[in-house]
Structure 1
Amino acid sequence: MTGNIEVFGHGGDVETAASRFGGHAADFLDYSANINPLGPPKEVLEALQQGLRSVLRYPDPGHREFKALLSEHLGVTQEQISVGNGAAESMALILLALGPRKVGTVEPGFSEYRALAQQFGAEIIHTTGREELNWQARPEDIEQLMEKVDLLFLGQPNNPNGVQYPAEVLHRLARKAEATNTVLVMDEAFIDFIPAAQRQSLAPHLHKYPHVIIIRSMTKFYAIPGLRLGYAMGSAKYIRAMTEKQVTWSVNGLALIAGEACLRSGERFEQDTISQITLERTRLITALEAHRYSVTPGEANFILACVPEPWTAASMQEALGRQRILIRNCSMYPGLDAGHVRFAVKGAEANDRLLEVLGSVLERKEGGKRS
């Protein structure tokens, strides 16, 4: 008997997994949430320890120190930055501040785009990516969608397929946004996991595209999802409108301390993370393909794959869940089918365990078929 683990529409719900399969949440090896396997930089843990007494005072409602560091790190002015309680709050603030009546999504994509837009009363219009394009949509299809909507969300790299649109396509879409008076929201939550030379981003060109807003997350790359921290970059006009709608002190003091420490942690952490993710992603893809999975060749710290027949995403999630390994069932993503799952890329030891269990699960299934 299978059951829905993604009751809240996201991965990382080990509490639901524990209630479904038994045991405790801490017992699960969670491949459904895409968090840096190295954990937070040591500087972050030290700063949090030293800053614990900051809980006795209110956090800075202007996020000034963190914004100053972001401004230096990103090469944009502080007036172009909005800090949020995770990237999700940045998305919500954009919708609240700009009030779009029609919101466009490219499916398959992060479910929060659709969910938040609907919460704020917008009509959703979407286009769908193509399997032969690794689940990306054709640029012309996105442009046609932009003609129909006030605001468009686009993942870069996209979740769940982990694929980037080329820079020339981004510029093309940004020009279309200007022509159609559409706000183009680029979600770059996972872009830090890609080597800097390979990142495709409009961040260096924001001055040319006032209709573009870029959202990024600190929680995934720096492994602090429990603290919730993200930010948006865009024209001062849009950032000001977002700030005016933000609840005072929505970003807590410990999150700001952690964010400041993240930005001071240096390049070594970034290099080590990217090196490990690149190595382990290649190893996982090779092993999954050897087990007859059909794998989408993405660039992020997760892998979209289709299970071999006669498995389904639900039955694979069930089988691995009983072994205390949680994966993301992607069958509910519009545009994907009943066999799609997503694996986070973790460290070597965790991946060894995943591949060992995966092999034994598949072997038992095949042995059952032969008997």
Structure 2
Amino acid sequence: MFNGHGDDLYKYQGKVKYNFSSNIFSHADLSGLKQYLCKQMDVIANYPEPESYALEQMIAENIGVERGNVLITNGATEAIYLIAHYFARYHHSFANPTFSEYEEAVRTLPYSSHDAGNVYWMCNPNNPTGEVREVEELTTFIRSGEDTYFIVDQSYSHYTKQRVLNPRQMVKMKNCILLYSMTKRYCIPGLRLGYIVADKLMIDAFRAMHPAWSVNALAIEAGKYLLEHDIPNFPDLDEYLSETRRLRTEINKIDGAEALDTETNFFLIKLKKGHSKDLKEYLVNHFGVLIRDASNFVGLNSHYIRVATQLPEENDVLVDGIKSYMSQL
């Protein structure tokens, strides 16, 4: 598994006060979920469902597909590795810069021959750029690639006002596989819940490779609670994206930094001087701010960082920190 993800708080021994490094909102109200899970602790005394059929049924009803179109996984990351290994003998390509785990999963494959067909991986909205591809354009692209399987990761679909692919329509296209992350939707990265949506035959093929008890009993209970209550764990989306625009505007006033366009709550910052690793360490040590060093995304370099919008007062600390760093150069 790739070790260059954001949210690496564990490296800094309590120094971090403001976390901008993960693409989720750091102040989600999880109090109701915590209270619920405290009452469900007895489930740890028994094996969970070998396959999470009840939760899959709830997700299917929520998005308007059949249960056979859904497979629950231990986070979207397990789904990525499962899909990569199913298509082990295929040629894989990527819409870079994008989430590094797709390519990392393919690197683990044991085969040197990739002549069985083609697989194209993309993230929409895209991590790390925040770009959202237009639905009609993307649908036409998928339809035109009859000899290609398209893996479209829509884990950030709740963080944009732009239209994304509709699972009810896409399950009819046998060459399209959608990925989703309840981790991102409900800001629960420690619970590891994701799912795949695809044609039933494709889901059956993935299920045949899927290890039993992949998702633990507490995570399953959490998923049920979150779907039943559907509590948005970030501010009103219009307000949240408005704050993102304000944050980008303030960063663009800093000599040496350029906040790039985005259609989500996270975005890249291009450093016109200095380096991403140095800025990351400076912000942690002097401001208690953790950012994502984006230099290890394919297509980027040591002049890029990524941040996700937080509370206005925290965003102001980030701006002050970048401004301070640039003034030293």
**Same-fold call, TM > 0.5?**
yes
- Please name the residue that 2:98 is paired with: 109
Q: What is the DSSP-based 3-state SS (H/G/I as helix, E as strand, rest coil) of the residue aligned with 2:183?
A: coil
* 1:152 partnered with 2:120: yes
Identity over the aligned pairs, expressed in percent? 26
- Please name the residue that 1:278 is paired with: 241
Residue type at the aligned position of 2:27 = L
Tell me if the contact between 2:100 and 2:298 (Cα under 8 Å) persists in the aligned partners.
no
Give, in whole Å, the separation in 1 of the partners of 2:243 and 2:38. Answer: 31
CA RMSD, 1 decimal: 2.3
Q: TM-score, normalised by structure 2?
A: 0.91
Change (3 A) 1:76 1:40: farther
* 1:36 partnered with 2:31: no
Residue type at the aligned position of 1:344 = A
Tell me if the contact between 1:277 and 1:301 (Cα under 8 Å) persists in the aligned partners.
yes
Change (3 A) 1:40 1:103: farther
From 205, 221, 227, give the equivalent of 1:263: 227
Q: What is the DSSP-based 3-state SS (H/G/I as helix, E as strand, rest coil) of the residue aligned with 2:138?
A: helix
Residue type at the aligned position of 2:10 = E
Residue type at the aligned position of 1:114 = E
From 227, 248, 262, give the equivalent of 1:298: 262
- Please name the residue that 1:132 is paired with: none
Give, in whole Å, the separation in 1 of the partners of 2:119 and 2:80. Answer: 11
* 1:208 partnered with 2:197: no
- Please name the residue that 2:6 is paired with: 11
Residue type at the aligned position of 1:257 = E
Give, in whole Å, the separation in 1 of the partners of 2:54 and 2:170. Answer: 22
Q: TM-score, normalised by structure 1?
A: 0.81
State the Cα distance separating 1:329 from its structure 2 match: 1.3
State the Cα distance separating 1:221 from its structure 2 match: 2.3
Tell me if the contact between 1:104 and 1:124 (Cα under 8 Å) persists in the aligned partners.
no
Task: List alignment gaps of at least 5 residues for structure 2.
Answer: none
For residues 15-56 of structure 1, the C-alpha deviation after alignment (integer angstroms, 9 at most, x for no partner) is: 22x2xxxxx246442221112233254432232122122111
Residue type at the aligned position of 2:153 = D
- The runs of at least 4 consecutive aligned structure 1 residues that moved more than 4 Å come to 122-125
Change (3 A) 1:247 1:278: same
State the Cα distance separating 1:215 from its structure 2 match: 0.1
From 40, 49, 52, give the equivalent of 1:60: 49
Give, in whole Å, the separation in 2 of the partners of 1:357 and 1:294. Answer: 15
Give, in whole Å, the separation in 1 of the partners of 2:234 and 2:280. Answer: 32
* Structure with the bigger percentage of helix: 1
Q: What is the DSSP-based 3-state SS (H/G/I as helix, E as strand, rest coil) of the residue aligned with 1:357?
A: helix
Task: List alignment gaps of at least 5 residues for structure 1.
Answer: 1-6, 19-23, 126-146, 367-371
- Please name the residue that 2:136 is paired with: 168
Tell me if the contact between 1:327 and 1:341 (Cα under 8 Å) persists in the aligned partners.
yes
From 49, 58, 83, give the equivalent of 2:38: 49
Residue type at the aligned position of 2:131 = V
Deviates more, 1:36-45 or 1:291-300: 36-45
Residue type at the aligned position of 2:246 = R
* Pairing 1:1-371 to 2, within 5 Å after superposition: 8-16=3-11, 18=12, 24-25=13-14, 27-121=16-110, 150-177=118-145, 179-180=146-147, 182-195=148-161, 198-266=162-230, 269=232, 272-292=235-255, 293-309=257-273, 311-323=274-286, 324-363=288-327, 365=328
For residues 271-313 of structure 1, the C-alpha deviation after alignment (integer angstroms, 9 at most, x for no partner) is: 835244213211210111111422221122211110232x222
- Please name the residue that 1:369 is paired with: none
State the Cα distance separating 1:106 from its structure 2 match: 1.5
